[in-house]
């Protein structure tokens, strides 16, 4: 991995550019959307022309965030910008095929992320694996370098941080995370409203999905592993939309015996998306996902396997069970 640039170098590039494109990964989550919009709104307030670009657009559950109406999906035209910034995107191609094609033509790429597996694919890179969310890195950069921070910026970055830390519960949450939240509250941010919008405004189908998950979840390794298979047929039945599954896996970690939870999901192309979580620092799920071509964080990782889903699940769970049994 190349050495990090300094945040001063990255901010200098932002200040020098007039037109900037900001992008994040496909199937964007709260950290992806919140980081893109938090930075986009700040740079717009600085007088920059900013294109906020998401290959899959904004999922319905995050549409309330200020600025989502300005997010565009890549179209036919080229991207005429001086600087492109990729946020929260562990591997370059994760921005999506169309976004990647547009980005390849941009003269300067900055890569800001918190995934330890990020290889540093930008000309400017700032990878902070100790940061629980890319939103936390963005907030630090904005506040350290005196860039504009409005209430709309705070809303986006708070949601980015809140969703990636499981509402400040996961082990990656640090003192700085809480200080940022405190600063935001002191500045007047209504965090209870955001919590209601993020965690208490689900469509009924999300709860239907949870009901199915609780009915069908399967245990292994004496209850230390719990998993669920989200199948194409069921997704069609309930009319699932992108974003419906965000945080769903965290329901499974509520079980006392569980040290690892996994959701398998049918995705286009006959593939199966694996999301794996660890509740025990000794179990590194990024290593297990790495064996299947994926990666991520120690406590939260993902991979894609070839279907059918039952076979993919069995393959993955055999390896996971081995590792889980190794730790005690
Ligand atoms: Mn993230």
pLDDT in tens, 122-152: 999 999 999 999 999 999 999 999 999 999 9
Residue 259 has pLDDT above 70, yes or no: yes
Cα-to-centroid distance, 323 and ligand 1 (Å): 25
Q: Which phi and psi angles does 22 have, rounded to 5°?
A: -120, 135
Cα-to-centroid distance, 32 and ligand 1 (Å): 6
pLDDT level of residue 204 (50, 70, 90 thresholds): very high
pLDDT of residue 1: 64
Cα-to-centroid distance, 296 and ligand 1 (Å): 9
Distance CA 317, CA 260 (A): 10
Cα-to-centroid distance, 34 and ligand 1 (Å): 10
Cα-to-centroid distance, 164 and ligand 1 (Å): 6
Cα-to-centroid distance, 16 and ligand 1 (Å): 27
User: Would you list the DSSP string of 55-99?
Assistant: TT---GGGTTSTTGGGEE---SS----SEEEEES-SSGGGG-HHH
Residue 58 has pLDDT above 70, yes or no: yes
pLDDT in tens, 160-183: 999 999 999 999 999 999 999 999
Question: Quick count: other Cβ atoms within 10 Å of Cβ 108?
Answer: 16
Cα-to-centroid distance, 132 and ligand 1 (Å): 7
Q: Of all residues in the chain, what percent carry a pLDDT higher than 70?
A: 100
Cα-to-centroid distance, 286 and ligand 1 (Å): 14
Sign of the torsion formed by the C-alpha atoms of 304, 306, 308 and 310: negative
Distance CA 271, CA 137 (A): 32
Question: Quick count: other Cβ atoms within 10 Å of Cβ 150?
Answer: 15
- Asked if residue 84 lies in contact with residue 106, where contact means CB atoms within 8 angstroms, the answer is yes
Cα-to-centroid distance, 41 and ligand 1 (Å): 19
Average pLDDT over residues 188-193: 98
Distance of CA 299 to the CA centre of its chain: 13
Q: Identify the CA nearest to 158 among candidates 141, 174, 182.
A: 182
pLDDT in tens, 225-240: 999 999 999 999 999 9
Distance CA 123, CA 110 (A): 6
Cα-to-centroid distance, 236 and ligand 1 (Å): 28
Average pLDDT over residues 266-295: 96
Domain coordinates of the chain in residue numbers?
7-199, 204-326
Distance of CA 190 to the CA centre of its chain: 23
Sign of the torsion formed by the C-alpha atoms of 2, 36, 172 and 247: negative
Distance CA 34, CA 40 (A): 10
- Asked if residue 21 lies in contact with residue 83, where contact means CB atoms within 8 angstroms, the answer is yes
Residues with CB under 5 A from ligand 1 (ion): 31, 88, 134, 164
DSSP 109: E
The CA-to-CA distance between both ends of the chain, in Å, stands at: 33
CATH architecture of 204-326: Roll (3.10)
Residue 79 has pLDDT above 90, yes or no: no
Q: Identify the CA nearest to 137 among candidates 11, 243, 28.
A: 11
- pTM for the model stands at 0.93
Please give the mean pLDDT across all residues of the chain: 96
Cα-to-centroid distance, 162 and ligand 1 (Å): 10
- Asked if residue 117 lies in contact with residue 54, where contact means CB atoms within 8 angstroms, the answer is no
pLDDT of residue 20: 98
Q: Identify the CA nearest to 293 among candidates 127, 28, 130, 93.
A: 93
Do the domains at 7-199 and 204-326 have one common CATH topology? no
Cα-to-centroid distance, 260 and ligand 1 (Å): 19
Cα-to-centroid distance, 169 and ligand 1 (Å): 15
CATH architecture of 7-199: Alpha-Beta Complex (3.90)
Residue 51 has pLDDT above 70, yes or no: yes
SS3 content of the chain, % helix, strand, coil (to 5): 40, 20, 40
């Amino acid at each position: 991995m190349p050495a990090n640039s300094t945040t001063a170098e990255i901010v200098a590039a932002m200040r020098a550019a007039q037109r900037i494109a900001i992008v994040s990964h496909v199937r964007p989550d709260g950290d992806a959307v919140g980081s893109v919009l938090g930075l986009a709104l700040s740079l717009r307030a600085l007088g920059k022309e900013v294109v906020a670009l998401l290959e899959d657009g904004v999922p319905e559950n995050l549409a309330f965030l200020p600025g989502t109406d300005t997010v565009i999906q890549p179209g036919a035209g080229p991207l005429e910008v001086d600087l492109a910034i990729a946020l929260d995107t562990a591997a370059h191609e994760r921005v999506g095929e169309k976004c990647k094609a547009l980005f390849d033509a941009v003269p300067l790429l900055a890569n800001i992320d918190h995934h330890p597996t990020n290889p540093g694919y930008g000309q400017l890179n700032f990878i902070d694996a100790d940061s629980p969310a890319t939103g936390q890195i963005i907030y630090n950069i904005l506040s350290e370098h005196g860039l504009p921070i409005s209430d709309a910026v705070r809303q986006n970055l708070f949601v980015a941080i809140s969703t990636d830390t499981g509402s400040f519960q996961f082990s990656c949450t640090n003192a700085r995370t809480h200080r940022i939240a405190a600063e935001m509250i002191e500045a007047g941010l209504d965090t209870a409203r955001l919590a209601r919008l993020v965690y208490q405004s689900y469509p009924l189908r999300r709860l239907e999905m949870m009901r199915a998950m609780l009915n069908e979840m399967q245990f292994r390794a004496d209850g230390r592993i719990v998993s669920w298979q989200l199948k194409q047929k069921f997704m069609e039945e309930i009319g699932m939309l992108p974003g419906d599954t965000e945080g769903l896996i965290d329901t499974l970690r509520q079980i006392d015996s569980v040290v690892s939870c996994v959701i398998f999901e049918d995705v286009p192309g006959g593939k199966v998306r694996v999301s794996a979580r660890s509740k025990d620092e000794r179990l590194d799920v990024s290593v297990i996902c790495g064996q299947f071509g994926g990666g991520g964080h120690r406590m939260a990782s993902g991979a894609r396997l070839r279907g059918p889903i039952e076979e993919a699940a069995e393959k993955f769970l055999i390896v996971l069970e081995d590792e889980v049994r190794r730790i005690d």
